[in-house]
Structure 1
């Protein structure tokens, strides 16, 4: 491979802001795997956000890249899996599997798509110094004949349209809106774009915590919600505490500490239980050998957390701790409190591209 921009490349990043800023290029924020795609003839390398290769996990995209992208180019985009008209991150996560036979099977059962939203090089020319608006023009020309599973990401420069996308596209599984300054050159591994994400709150039951890797302090709080059958389900975690607060939480939560016997998640201490669901306390393909042990607590405390959106019955990302809710009874913390998002067909999102 001999391109003007060679792998690995860490993509340009975005920082969170509360509102959609004016005077920029706006795109939907896709909820998938960020990917930098290098193509030089038949050679294709798909790199992750960290620069690690993803190529072997998506053989169907290697074929699609050869069929749809210019012979020599570098594209920035998102790998997604679509199920029943919306993005499905759980099915996407299943694609990262060590067995080649499983990868090939899933490539047929849950094929991935590539959403292209920037271009870093074409032919012998590096496009990194070009303005965002200029790179978009090149990208549109490069993908003018592309067809699924390769898609050109829709964009607009109208803040009112961006606001409408922000409200409507969540129903298709999208994550918010990204704003890019029109004169912005491509700056790898730098937070120079802006992301605007949904934020909601929920009152959750605290049922345990994971120790922090640095020592006997709290790393993250394990959160639960009661389902319609009255069973406490693991819904996610909240973290991002200062080290001082992590130390304080150990003492603060000590009176609630219990053994596994009698705990709603007692069975999850058994490794075999993790074969049937995503439960706290076990390594995964993502965590590898990372210590995922956890400390059970009596489910008697309630905390309010902020979250962006759900993926099935769990928070898609780490929640943000807001405050304790001593006024709430744990058994009142159910899924019923969560906001229902109106569904929106992803095909309508992609057709705008």
Structure 2
């Protein structure tokens, strides 16, 4: 492989902002959907194709169907920044995508056929013998549109707009297809490896959840115990379901919280999740304390708490019946009854047709 831009490449990153930014304050902006998948740099030089992850690790062997599609659909010599995704029906499904990272070739091949991945390109680093990394985004986008105009899947070119009103509409509507928000990129900016020159606008919501347990921090000791994360639950059909975790506390707050919660510690046999001790492998609900290939070697044990305290958290969006990312501790809610904290409080995004987003059409259901 001999390209103007060679691996390893660290992708350009984004900083979080609140609300759709004003293009006039940034010298012009290009907006695009924020795809919920694996960040991926594609290198193609004739019959040689390499896929690398956000942290520059190889992804090529996990997506043989994409390697074939890249050879069929993309120019002979090109380097692209984009996202690998898996869609089930008309939604992106991140958990199904995660299943593709498997050591066994036979399973990778089976999943490549059963849940084939797609690739959506959103930046151009090189084309032919020319590097584009030092050129402004407007020029990179124009060259990419000309080179990839014919794509119709499984490789796609992402939609963009310079209209903040349209970006606001995308932010509200596209979540129903499993997208993660909106990205804004300065039109005059070069491609800066590992630089946070982009801006991301993500959904942020709140929910009242039940604190059902905690895990200790990796630096915790018997002499100086520290809380690592809170295990959160919501009630469904009378049973407390595990919905995610809240973490990211200061050292002082970790010490305060673990002391504050000690009166609620109870034997696992008296806890709603006590029956889950019998699980030996991870299950679809990712019950706390169970193992999977993602957590091999980690101590996933937790300290059960009587489910008597309610906490308000901030979260961005759901993945199935769980928070997709770590929820942010907001405040205690002593006024809430734990049994009243159910899934019915969670906002459901309007269904949206993923194929219309990929093809550039507009249609929601």
Pair in the same fold by TM > 0.5 = yes
Looking at structure 2, the residues matched to 87 and 193 of structure 1 have their Cα atoms a distance apart, in angstroms, of 23
Residue pair 1:4, 1:121 contacting (<8 A) in 2 also: yes
Of 136, 146, 150, which aligns to 2:151?
146
Per the alignment, residue 5 of structure 1 pairs with 5
Per the alignment, residue 164 of structure 1 pairs with 169
1:272 aligns with 2:277: no
Looking at structure 1, the residues matched to 53 and 258 of structure 2 have their Cα atoms a distance apart, in angstroms, of 36
Of 57, 60, 65, which aligns to 1:52?
57
Deviates further, 211-220 or 306-315: 211-220
* TM-score, with length taken from structure 1: 0.96
Show CA shifts across 1:165-195 (max 9, x none): 0111011111110000111111111211100
Residue pair 2:242, 2:285 contacting (<8 A) in 1 also: no
Cα RMSD (Å): 1.4
Residue pair 1:13, 1:193 contacting (<8 A) in 2 also: yes
Looking at structure 2, the residues matched to 249 and 283 of structure 1 have their Cα atoms a distance apart, in angstroms, of 26
Looking at structure 1, the residues matched to 340 and 262 of structure 2 have their Cα atoms a distance apart, in angstroms, of 24
Of 295, 304, 321, which aligns to 2:312?
304
Per the alignment, residue 21 of structure 1 pairs with 21
1:232 aligns with 2:240: yes
Structure 1 unpaired stretches of 5+: none
SS at match of 1:258: coil
Displacement after TM superposition at 1:291 (Å): 2.7
Looking at structure 2, the residues matched to 121 and 186 of structure 1 have their Cα atoms a distance apart, in angstroms, of 11
Displacement after TM superposition at 1:2 (Å): 1.5
1:249 aligns with 2:254: no
Residue pair 1:268, 1:274 contacting (<8 A) in 2 also: no
Per the alignment, residue 286 of structure 1 pairs with 294
Per the alignment, residue 338 of structure 2 pairs with 330
Structure 2 unpaired stretches of 5+: 24-28
Residue pair 1:304, 1:321 contacting (<8 A) in 2 also: yes
Looking at structure 1, the residues matched to 122 and 245 of structure 2 have their Cα atoms a distance apart, in angstroms, of 31
Looking at structure 1, the residues matched to 145 and 53 of structure 2 have their Cα atoms a distance apart, in angstroms, of 23
Per the alignment, residue 66 of structure 2 pairs with 61
Looking at structure 2, the residues matched to 226 and 194 of structure 1 have their Cα atoms a distance apart, in angstroms, of 36
Of 82, 91, 97, which aligns to 1:92?
97
Per the alignment, residue 130 of structure 1 pairs with 135
